[in-house]
Amino acid sequence: MSSPSAHVTQLWRHPVKSMAGEQLETATLRRRGVHGDRLWALHDVERDTTISARRLPAVLVFSARYVTPPGPDAGPGHAPAVIVTAPDGTEHRSDDPAIHAALSSRLDRDVRLVPLPADPRAHRLPWRERLGTLAPRALAQDLGIAPDERLPKISDMNARALATITRNATPPGTFVDLCPIHLLSEASAATIAEAIGDDSVATRRFRPNVVIDGTGRGLPESEWTGATVDLGGAQLHVVMKTVRCVVPSRAHVGLPLDKRLTRAVAATSDRYLGVYADVVRTGDVHVGDILTVTPPQPPTRVRRMADSGRILAFDTANRVAELLRRSPS
């Protein structure tokens, strides 16, 4: 499934959810993902939920870095201090009580910069947010789906991911979207660049943790669901393809708005690009490390029957969602 020349080209850690992060030469992969990744987030006071760039894209033009590298105890309930840099270059420290007012003023919304809590129950969505998030029209807006386009197939998502988005702002114990690690190939980014007629697309628009090259052309990682990925001292289990929202097309630090990206991803890869993965074996990964992909075992007859039933049920749900989205208000 992978080329012998496949290797890691970039490693990213994002101290604050939805803000630009830090590019690393070495990353420690733990069960919760890259050590130090997304230990902070902005909290929307009015909606009482964690803010995502899907709903507040202005967050993407802020960047964050740690004051000192995260120690071994960094994690839920132990988030080291960060420095947030605003678009005009002004810096704010997380341990400065004035940071909340400063960020609220710049974002025109009442927000608080909060560390990852030790209590997983803190991630539970309020009921009104749960209902609003799954409404077909709200989902279409988040994903940048035009009225004449269809919703992505939810059968490409696994049960854990669906449970997360129906109950929690983020998976309990983390500020990541759905899985600890997001992996993207240079080939997939090049495929999207070709679709929009550009020479290249910055991979950081897609906010990956691990970027790889040497995998061949096209969308190589789209075939890796269920596979085992060995890289450096770590091992990953690929959970599912990554469903893309409008975030990559938004303005990022040093990158302008580019609405072509959302349409290109929809047309080229049915709104999926890159893959989400769990960390099976923890360890250090370095830029340049070779990557090996081992295909999953063929499914048993019982598993194939169960998968067929699941896909049929989800495809039916997709059709119902489309009817609701297109029906008059």
- Of 174 and 13, more confident: 13
Q: Which of 6-15, 70-79, 105-114, 299-308 comes out lowest in average pLDDT?
A: 299-308
**Residue the block writes with tokens 């699941």:** 310
Asked if residue 310 belongs to a domain, the reply is no
Quote the tokens at residue 125. 């969505």
**Residue the block writes with tokens 């993407």:** 60
106-125: pLDDT as tens digits: 999 999 999 998 876 665 55
With a pLDDT cut of 70, the percent of the chain lying above it is 75
Asked if residue 105 belongs to a domain, the reply is yes
pLDDT of residue 155: 60
Mean pLDDT in the chain?
85
pLDDT of residue 168: 45
Q: Does the pLDDT value for residue 240 go beyond 50? A: yes
Q: Does the pLDDT value for residue 218 go beyond 80? A: yes
State which residues form the domain around 183.
Answer: 7-124+168-296
Cα 248 from Cα 241, distance rounded (Å): 16
Q: Does the pLDDT value for residue 304 go beyond 80? A: no
pLDDT of residue 226: 92
Q: How large is the greatest C-alpha to C-alpha distance in the chain, in angstroms?
A: 60
165-209: pLDDT as tens digits: 544 445 666 787 788 999 999 999 999 999 999 999 999 999 999
Q: Does the pLDDT value for residue 281 go beyond 70? A: yes
Asked if residue 129 belongs to a domain, the reply is no
pLDDT of residue 219: 96
pLDDT of residue 142: 55
**Residue the block writes with tokens 């393809």:** 241
- Of 191 and 147, more confident: 191
Asked if residue 75 belongs to a domain, the reply is yes
**Which helix (DSSP H) or strand (DSSP E) does residue 163 occupy?**
helix 159-167
Asked if residue 159 belongs to a domain, the reply is no
Total domains present in the chain? 1
Rounded to an integer, the average pLDDT of 291-315 is: 75
Asked if residue 226 belongs to a domain, the reply is yes
Q: Does the pLDDT value for residue 139 go beyond 70? A: no
Parallel, antiparallel or unpaired: strands 234-243 and 91-93? unpaired
Asked if residue 307 belongs to a domain, the reply is no
pLDDT of residue 79: 95
* b (16+ CB within 10 A) / e for 202-227: ebbbbbbbbbbbbbeeebbbbbbbeb
Asked if residue 111 belongs to a domain, the reply is yes
Residue 92, domain CATH:
2.40.33.20
Q: Pick from 201, 200, 210: which is nearest to 236 by CA?
A: 210
